[in-house]
């Protein structure tokens, strides 16, 4: 049975259940950032997914990219580039990060992972981000 690693509950908030993945908004106002966690028990690497699920995850990554762009528009945070990462060095449960980037952001041009401390959203910004992401993720 699939269960979300508690680490995701601490760092992100639920957005929507997609066909394969739980989509979550990273609670870090420094970047518009969605995390996708495929609901597949014990998966750690892409090779642990079936070919069909791999293709589904790829499509959900593209969908999350569109949602990240929508969050950026809502928060007046223009996304210039998308970054996608599947690392799992700290939290091994398979997950994909989809992060909006722009020149001069808090880690530009380096990667975002492990940089500084998360800046939680204010309640109003969190609500705006969720409202912007949801129509793209779960139309």
Residues contributing to the site for a second copy (CB under 8 A): 44-47, 51, 54-55, 57-59, 61-62, 65-66, 81-90, 92, 101, 108-111, 113-114
Minimum distance of a second copy from residue 90's CB (angstroms): 5
Q: What minimum distance in Å lies between the beta carbon of 76 and a second copy?
A: 21
Question: 108 vs 134, which CB is nearer to a second copy?
Answer: 108
Burial of 92 (0-12, 13-18, 19+ CB in 10 A): middle
> CB neighbours of 78 closer than 8 A, spacing ≥ 6?
72, 102
Separation CA 15–CA 12 (nearest Å): 9
80 or 127: CB nearest a second copy: 80
- Give the integer Cα–Cα distance in Å for 62 and 76: 21
Contact 22, 12 (CB under 8 A): no
Helix axes 123-137, 51-74, angle to 10 degrees: 130
* Nearest approach, Cβ of residue 119 and a second copy (Å): 19
Q: Which is nearer to a second copy, 52 or 123 (CB)?
A: 52
Smallest gap from Cβ 4 to a second copy, in A, equals 19
Q: Which is closer to a second copy, CB of 33 or CB of 121?
A: 33
């Amino acid at each position: 049975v699939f269960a979300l690693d508690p680490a995701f509950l601490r760092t992100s908030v639920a957005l929507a259940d997609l066909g394969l993945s739980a989509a979550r908004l990273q609670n870090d106002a420094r970047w518009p950032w969605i995390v996708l966690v495929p609901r597949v028990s014990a998966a750690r690497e892409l090779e642990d997914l079936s070919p069909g699920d791999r293709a589904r995850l790829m499509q959900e990554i593209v969908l999350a990219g569109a949602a990240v762009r929508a969050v950026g528009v809502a928060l007046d945070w223009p996304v210039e580039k998308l970054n996608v990462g599947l690392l799992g060095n700290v939290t091994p449960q398979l997950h994909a990060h989809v992060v909006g980037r722009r020149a001069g952001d808090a880690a530009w041009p380096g990667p975002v992972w492990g940089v500084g401390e998360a800046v939680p959203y204010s309640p109003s910004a969190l609500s705006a981000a969720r409202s912007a992401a949801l129509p793209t993720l779960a139309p």
